[in-house]
Every structure is written in C-alpha cells, then in structure tokens.
C-alpha cells in the first residue's frame, strides 16, 4: 500500500505554507505528522509538493524512511488533488497500486481513524455534514487516471465516487477532521465560550446566508436548464444540484438550533443603523 500526501496547495487563505507549518499545540510540522502516521500502514510514502515547498519539505522528512517527493507534471499541473494523484502514480506507471490519501490540512487526524480507512478498500471518510474526499483509500494506475482526465473532469469528488466507486466510512464530528484553512482557527474558542444571545445571533445570520445562497443557486439552475443540451450544461446542472442539496441539508441542520423566541431580524442587521442588535436578548 502506498501513501499519497497532498502537500502542494497554495495555502493562500492560510497565509503561509500549510505543509511545513507546525501548530502550536503539536510536536511536529503538518508534513511530518502526515508522513509519520502513514508510515505505520504504508510500504511507501509519496509526498505531492509544489516547487516552492519541496526543498523545505525534503529537509523536514530527511529522517523518515521510504519517502519520495514529487511535484505536478507539466501537462497536468495546477488542478488540485488530481494533479497530485497523477504525479504520484507516475512513479508506478506500469501497475495498478493501492493508495491511501491524506492531506496536510488534517494535522489532528488520529492513527485509529486512518486505520479504519486502511481496513476498507474503495472508501473515504465522511461525517454527517461533510465528505472528506482527500481522505480516501482506492486502487488505480497512472494510465487509468490519464484516461479519466480525457473528459477534462478534475473534480476529486467525481474521481473518488465515479471512477474509484468509493463508499463513505462515517465518523463522528470531531476536531480531528477539521480542515486547517485559517491560522486564526487553530486556537479558536469553542461554542461554550459564547453567550446564548451571541449563539442565536450567529444561527440567524447563518440561516439568512444559506437562504440567500440557495436562492441564487436555484436561479442559476433555472437559467442553465433552459440552455441547449450539452455535456457542459449537464455537468453544471449536476454540480448546482449537489450544492443546493448541501445547502438544504445545512439549513435544516442549523435550523434545529434556532430559538423561535429570540427576537432578531437578519434583514435589519444588514440595513439598519443599529446593526440588528436583538431587542430582547
């Protein structure tokens, strides 16, 4: 089994390279943590880096055995995780191999959770509210991926579900599956530190935002459905439908936390000079 580590992202929202970053409450950098965890289960580790971080990564993993570093191949570069999978599988281009993927975005993931993934072929991790397609277990080959990309479909979701036919392994919502996108979220406060009015205000704003986003997507879906039939139209309709369904699920989920007695008008929040502060907190 081969471990593929996604470490080549731009980290633009994070503010610095996520692969070489070390969280204050963890003993190692993100790339070291990912490599160390996968070495427990894999015969070989392939780190998919970028041109800017490949040298720093090499320094950090010097003492880790059975590791290789690759960067995107010119003809298939800058397309996210699938570019990394292309580059990684090219090291074994003549054979089909079994792969476990892990993004450096998950420094808190536990080895027992990775073990669950290892034990189930053709799988990916998921929670009730999120599918983690970059945490997956599948078999593929370099040539198989190249054939898949002839349709110019670079969505990791489609590759995992449609090409590899992976099924979800459901996990409880927990910090270990929290994606590391912003530095300010690393040592963030939890819900328990919020007052009840603050929490209800947050819920109201979230529901308002989701409702607006759903309306925008449904309007776009209606416009696209009236276009001439084509592969591009069908692909966009499928993507829009997926997005709308996710928003519906999120709205219904967060609606369960709303207190109907809480007096807060989200519309006034964005229009009135009082910024919509609740009259009866």
Mean pLDDT, rounded, for 214-223: 92
**Torsion angle of C-alpha atoms 225, 228, 229, 230, degrees rounded to 10:** -110
Render pLDDT for 39-97 as a digit per residue (tens, 0 to 9). 999 999 999 999 999 999 999 999 999 999 999 998 888 888 999 999 999 999 889 99
DSSP tag of 80: T
Do residues 100 and 38 make contact, with C-beta atoms less than 8 angstroms apart? yes
The answer to whether 172 and 3 are in contact (CB under 8 A) is: no
Cα 228 to chain centroid distance, Å, stands at: 33
Distances from the Cα of 76 to the Cα of 59, 86, 87, 90, 223, angstroms: 26, 7, 8, 12, 32
152-175 per-position pLDDT tens digit: 899 999 999 999 999 999 999 888
Tokens of 73: 């191949």
Secondary structure tally for the chain: helices H, strands E: 9, 7
* pLDDT at residue 250 is higher than 80: yes
Determine how many CB atoms are found less than 10 A away from the CB of residue 79: 16
């Amino acid at each position: 089994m081969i471990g593929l580590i996604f470490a080549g992202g731009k980290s633009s929202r994070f503010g610095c390279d996520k692969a070489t970053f070390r969280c204050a409450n963890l003993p190692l950098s993100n790339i070291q943590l990912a490599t160390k965890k996968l070495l427990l289960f894999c015969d070989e580790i392939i780190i998919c880096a970028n041109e800017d971080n490949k040298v720093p990564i090499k320094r950090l993993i010097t003492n880790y055995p059975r590791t290789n570093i690759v960067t995107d191949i010119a003809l298939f570069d800058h397309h996210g995780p699938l570019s990394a999978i292309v580059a990684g599988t090219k090291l074994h281009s003549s054979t089909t191999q079994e792969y476990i993927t892990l993004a450096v975005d998950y420094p808190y993931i536990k080895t027992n959770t990775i073990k669950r993934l290892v034990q189930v072929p053709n799988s990916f991790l998921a929670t009730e509210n999120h599918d983690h397609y970059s945490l997956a277990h599948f078999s593929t080959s370099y040539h198989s991926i190249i054939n898949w990309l002839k349709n110019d479909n670079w969505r990791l979701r489609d590759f995992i579900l449609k090409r590899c036919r992976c099924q979800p392994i459901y996990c409880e919502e927990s910090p270990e599956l929290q994606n590391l996108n912003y530095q300010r979220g690393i040592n963030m406060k939890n819900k328990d530190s919020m007052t009840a009015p603050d929490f209800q205000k947050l819920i109201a704003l979230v529901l308002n935002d989701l409702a607006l986003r759903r309306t925008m997507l449904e309007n776009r879906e209606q416009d696209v459905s009236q276009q001439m039939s084509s592969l591009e139209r069908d692909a966009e309709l499928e993507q829009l439908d997926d997005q709308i369904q996710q928003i519906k699920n999120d709205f219904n989920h967060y609606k369960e936390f709303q207190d109907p007695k809480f007096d807060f008008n989200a519309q006034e929040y964005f229009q009135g000079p009082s910024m919509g502060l609740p009259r009866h907190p």
